[in-house]
Amino acid sequence: MSTVYAMQRANGDWFAVDDHGGFRVPLFNDNREAMRARAYNTEMLVFKPILLNENEVKTLAPGPGERVDFWLVDKGSTNMKRGRLMDHAQVALLVGNSN
């Protein structure tokens, strides 16, 4: 099981960027990395890092006709364009959900 963080607002909304008609959810290796990216990206200021578990991964699953991708931001990078693309199944495996 690996620790992965995503950014969530107090009302439960997840931070995602528009990605050509779909959404891309940035993921971070640890809390400190997420807070560092937040400090350099003002659109993230109302979000806080949440440790993902299998329940959160399920809530991030795309619905019918939706496209949701995940972006594991490179460790130490404040530029969210640096990282690697992941799909929902890969993220589920990463946090320990093998379903």
Find the length of the chain.
99
Residue 97: closest CA among 50, 88, 63, 73: 88
Average predicted confidence (pLDDT) for the chain: 87
What's the pLDDT score for residue 98?
A: 38
**Residue among 67, 55, 57 at smallest CA distance from 90:** 57
Higher pLDDT, 77 or 34: 34
The whole-number average pLDDT for the span 17-34 is 89
Taking the C-alpha atoms of residue 9 and residue 12, their distance in angstroms, rounded to an integer, is: 5
Candidate from 45-54, 65-74, 89-98 with smallest mean pLDDT: 89-98
pLDDT number for residue 99: 44
pLDDT given for residue 19 in this prediction: 80
